Amino acid sequence: MGRRDAIAVAIALAAVSAFSAKAEKADREKPTQVEANRMTSDEARRISIFEGNVVLTKGTMQLQAERIVVREDADGFQHATATGSPVRFRQKSDPRGGAEGVWIEGQAGRVEIDEKSERVELHEGARVTRDQDEVRGSTILYDQRSEFFSVSSAKDAPDSRVRAVIQPKKPEAEAPAPKKPEAGK
């Protein structure tokens, strides 16, 4: 794999990592590992293709797909398209409030990652779970710049609906109530 191919994979992976908002910061410092049955690269067209049981791993993040196509535009920005039956990803979030990080998992038939616009889109049966919360729809969009998250249903399917399961959150530990003065003191 050439330097450009390695950079393409690293950037695509970083974009996927960013999708999982609050992903482990330590993952950014980890090496990217890629396994696939085939890889082709066309330097003139600025495109790299990984095919056949593709597995990308970077720290706690793992992405599995049948095919990943990484294109580089004239400005050097990467655009990756991962396809599969389905594409799956998994990553652990950073610890928060003294609690251990939770796993963020997702899947879709196609995942589009655009480094320039900082957008990640999951299409075709998209699902994302974080801890025990889950959201499903035809398309899930995450804009990393604005931290905007959108889920939509298929327009042509009459019974298609967005579905979400959101677990009640435990309130943070409350400070102990002040002691009441004892009577007669």
Q: How many domains does the structure of the chain reveal?
A: 1
Q: Round to whole Å and give the CA distance between 71 and 129.
A: 28
User: Does some domain include residue 171?
Assistant: no
**Three-state helix/strand/coil letters over the chain:** CCHHHHHHHHHHHHHHHHHCCCECHHHHHCCEEEECCEEEEECCCCEEEEEEEEEEEECCEEEEEEEEEEEECCCCCEEEEEEEEEEEEEEEECCECCECCCEEEEEEEEEEEECCCCEEEEEEEEEEEECCEEEEEEEEEEECCCCEEEEECCCCCCCCCCEEECCCCCCCCCCCCCCCCCCCC
- For the record, the structure tokens of 57 come out as 């791993």
Domain that holds residue 26: 3-165
One pLDDT digit (tens) per residue for the chain, 185 residues = 444 444 444 444 444 444 444 455 666 677 777 899 999 999 899 999 999 999 988 788 788 999 999 888 999 888 889 999 999 988 887 777 787 888 888 899 999 888 888 888 999 999 988 888 899 999 999 887 787 879 998 887 766 889 888 888 776 554 455 555 566 55
Q: What is the CATH classification number for the domain harbouring 32?
A: 2.60.450.10
User: Does some domain include residue 35?
Assistant: yes
User: Does some domain include residue 185?
Assistant: no
pTM for this model (two decimals): 0.72
User: Does some domain include residue 121?
Assistant: yes
Nearest to residue 22, comparing CAs of 133, 112, 163, 139?
133
User: Does some domain include residue 180?
Assistant: no
Q: Round to whole Å and give the CA distance between 182 and 14.
A: 60
pLDDT of residue 126: 93
User: Does some domain include residue 129?
Assistant: yes
| Largest distance between two CA atoms of the chain | 89
Q: 118 with 18: CB under 8 angstroms? A: yes
